C-alpha cells in the first residue's frame, strides 16, 4: 500500500518500547518499588504530630475555671504536640530498608528483562518477515526460470529435437 510508511528495525524497536503495555506495567512496578524503598527509609525518622481544637458551648454549661454552672457561652481551645522515635526495634527498620532495596533492584531488573525480551521478539519477527520476503523473491525467480525453461523446451519440441513428453513433464513441474 502506498499510504503506509516503511518500517525499519529501529522504528519497530522504538515503537515496541514506547507502546507495549507489559513494558509500561513493569516500569510502573519499578516506580512502586522505589516509592516503597523511600517510605521504608523515612520510617526511621522520628514522627511529629500536632493537633488543635476549638469548641463553643452555649446555654447551661459548667465553667471549667470556676466549676460552677453558667448560662453564658463557654469557649475551649486545646493545643497538642507529640513526637515519637523508635530507639531500637531489633533491627527491623534496617532489615525493611534492605528488603525494600532488594525488591526495587529486582523489579528494575525484571523491567529491563521484559524490555529486552520484547525487543528480541520484535527482532525475531522482523527477521522472519525479511526472510519470508526473500523467499518470495527467490520463488518468483524460480517461477521466471521455470517459464523460460518451458519456452526453451517448447522451442526444442517444435523443431523436433526433444520429445513432447519432456515438455509435459516440465509444464507439470
The pLDDT of residue 1 is 52
Joined grid coordinates for residue 79? 493545643
Cα–Cα distance, 154 to 150 (Å, whole number): 6
Over the stretch 124-138, which tens digit does the pLDDT of each residue have? 999 999 999 999 999
**Which candidate, 140, 138, 170, places its Cα nearest to that of 154?**
170
- β-sheet bridge partners, residue 57: 74
Residue 43: other Cβ atoms inside 10 A: 15
Cα–Cα distance, 44 to 95 (Å, whole number): 11
- Residue 37, judged by CB atoms within 10 A of its CB (0-12, 13-18, 19+), counts as buried
Over the stretch 42-92, which tens digit does the pLDDT of each residue have? 999 999 999 999 988 777 877 777 888 877 777 788 999 999 998 888 899
- Residue 73, judged by CB atoms within 10 A of its CB (0-12, 13-18, 19+), counts as exposed
Cα–Cα distance, 87 to 63 (Å, whole number): 42
Over the stretch 142-159, which tens digit does the pLDDT of each residue have? 999 989 988 888 888 888
Beta-strand ranges (E) seen in the chain are 47-57, 61-62, 69-70, 74-84
The pLDDT of residue 2 is 63
Amino acid at each position: 500500500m502506498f499510504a503506509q510508511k516503511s518500517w525499519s528495525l529501529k522504528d519497530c524497536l522504538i515503537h515496541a518500547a514506547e507502546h507495549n503495555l507489559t513494558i509500561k506495567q513493569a516500569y510502573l512496578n519499578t516506580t512502586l518499588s522505589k516509592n516503597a524503598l523511600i517510605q521504608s527509609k523515612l520510617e526511621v525518622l522520628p514522627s511529629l504530630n500536632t493537633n488543635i481544637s476549638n469548641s463553643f458551648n452555649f446555654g447551661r454549661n459548667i465553667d471549667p475555671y470556676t466549676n460552677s454552672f453558667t448560662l453564658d457561652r463557654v469557649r475551649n481551645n486545646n493545643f497538642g504536640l507529640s513526637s515519637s522515635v523508635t530507639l531500637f526495634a531489633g533491627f527491623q527498620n534496617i532489615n525493611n530498608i534492605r528488603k525494600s532495596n532488594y525488591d526495587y533492584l529486582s523489579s528494575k531488573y525484571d523491567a529491563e528483562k521484559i524490555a529486552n525480551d520484547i525487543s528480541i521478539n520484535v527482532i525475531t519477527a522482523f527477521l522472519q518477515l525479511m526472510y519470508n520476503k526473500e523467499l518470495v523473491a527467490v520463488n518468483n525467480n524460480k517461477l521466471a526460470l521455470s517459464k523460460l525453461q518451458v519456452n526453451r523446451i517448447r522451442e526444442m519440441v517444435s523443431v523436433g529435437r526433444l520429445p513432447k513428453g519432456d515438455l509435459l513433464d516440465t509444464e507439470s513441474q
